[in-house]
Amino acid sequence: MDTSNTGPDAAYATDDFDMTRQALASHRRITGKALTVLTMVFAAAVVLPLIWVLISVFQKGVNALVFPDIFTELPPPPSLSGGGFGHAIVGTLMTLGIGTAISVPFGVLAAVYLAEFGRGTRLAYLVKFSCNVLTGVPAILMGLFAYSIVVIPNGSFSAFSGGVALGVLMLPIIIRATEEALLLVPNEMRLASTGIGATRFQTVIQIVLPAAITGIVTGIVLAVARAAGEAAPLLFTAFNNNLWATDIWQPVATLPVLIYFFSIIPYKASQELSWAAALVLLAIVLIFSVTARFFSRKQKF
């Protein structure tokens, strides 16, 4: 009969094992609580500045928004109060619309190629690398790019050149988001479509893209929200206009550029108008962000 695992030594070993296990459990609890507190601190470090910005912009800009004319009138001379920035809202919508019309087709088609047809190819690697580079390029360089290919040949600033700059800015966001949405579509859906005789092109158009439409829309909305607050590219392209302008080949006012110009004017009335425009622009960006969040929650398979 083997008695090597019985007796006082075995009891001491069991006690040591229990003490070690309890010490490890206690250490894990302490570490978990410490990491939880640390996570809450860093989360607060991210959320609190956002809340401070929202409150500050709201307090300084809400007083001017009580007058409906601010959305329909032109800005007054710098030394006078009143007026509005309706032309800048129109210009912002024009440039965003042009940028969306340019970036969405190219972005979606590039993502379809990356996810469905070009996996593992050198061209796909080049497209992904270019997309990653564009993501990190400063926005002002997009403006210089549009300035060189649109403004200089055309001979003047224009809403179209601003839309080109914003379109290039939006392009990598749309490509990455659309590619991820397509990759989330279960491969069984592709196999089932192929099994009933559909071609690969028909499968992508009729099965994969409709299944990933919420993710694609989310990427587009996020890209528009990203571009809506950019002023640097528009300074080199759309520039500014103190009058109503609906011609895409003429300079137009936009909310980011108006905020920039009015904030540096040493008159209180102009600065108040700048705060009001900042609040409107912030509301537009928040609406786009909430919309993107809504569509992203619907992306389920």
| 2 within domain boundaries | no
| 1 within domain boundaries | no
Total number of domains in the chain: 2
> Do 191 and 47 sit in the same domain of this protein?
no
> Do 35 and 156 sit in the same domain of this protein?
no
Look up the domain containing 48 and give its range. 8-61
Q: Which of 159-163, 241-245, 250-254 shows the lowest per-residue confidence on average (mean pLDDT)?
A: 241-245
Domain stops at, among 16, 31, 61:
61
> Do 74 and 117 sit in the same domain of this protein?
yes
| 148 within domain boundaries | yes
Average pLDDT, the chain: 85
| pLDDT category of residue 18 using cuts at 50, 70 and 90 | low
> Is the pLDDT at 14 greater than 70, yes or no?
no
Domain stops at, among 61, 79, 97:
61
pLDDT score at 6: 54
Question: Using CA atoms, how far apart are residues 105 and 211, in angstroms rounded to an integer?
Answer: 18
> Do 215 and 290 sit in the same domain of this protein?
yes
Q: How far is CA 264 from the centre of its chain?
A: 27
| 150 within domain boundaries | yes
Domain stops at, among 37, 61, 85:
61
> Is the pLDDT at 1 greater than 50, yes or no?
no
Question: Using CA atoms, how far apart are residues 128 and 136, in angstroms rounded to an integer?
Answer: 13
pLDDT score at 118: 84
Return the CATH number at 132: 1.10.3720.10
| 3 within domain boundaries | no
| pLDDT category of residue 8 using cuts at 50, 70 and 90 | low
> Do 135 and 118 sit in the same domain of this protein?
yes
> Do 51 and 122 sit in the same domain of this protein?
no
> Do 164 and 181 sit in the same domain of this protein?
yes
Q: What percent of the chain has pLDDT over 70?
A: 91
Of the candidates 14, 17, 220, the residue with the CA atom closest to the CA atom of residue 100: 220
> Do 170 and 74 sit in the same domain of this protein?
yes
Question: Using CA atoms, how far apart are residues 3 and 24, in angstroms rounded to an integer?
Answer: 30
What letter represents residue 60's amino acid? K
The mean pLDDT value for 10-35 works out to 73
162-197 pLDDT tens trace? 999 999 999 999 999 999 999 988 888 888 888 888
Burial 193-226 (b: 16+ CB within 10 A, else e): beeeebeeeebbeebbbebbebbbbbbbbbbbbb
> Do 94 and 17 sit in the same domain of this protein?
no
Question: Using CA atoms, how far apart are residues 127 and 282, in angstroms rounded to an integer?
Answer: 33
| 283 within domain boundaries | yes
| 109 within domain boundaries | yes
> Do 160 and 284 sit in the same domain of this protein?
yes
> Do 213 and 112 sit in the same domain of this protein?
yes
Q: Is the pTM of this model over 0.85?
A: no
> Do 88 and 201 sit in the same domain of this protein?
yes
pLDDT score at 195: 86
pLDDT score at 178: 92
64-98 pLDDT tens trace? 777 778 888 888 777 667 778 889 999 999 999 99
In Å, how far are 6, 63, 190 from 101, measured between CA atoms?
80, 35, 29
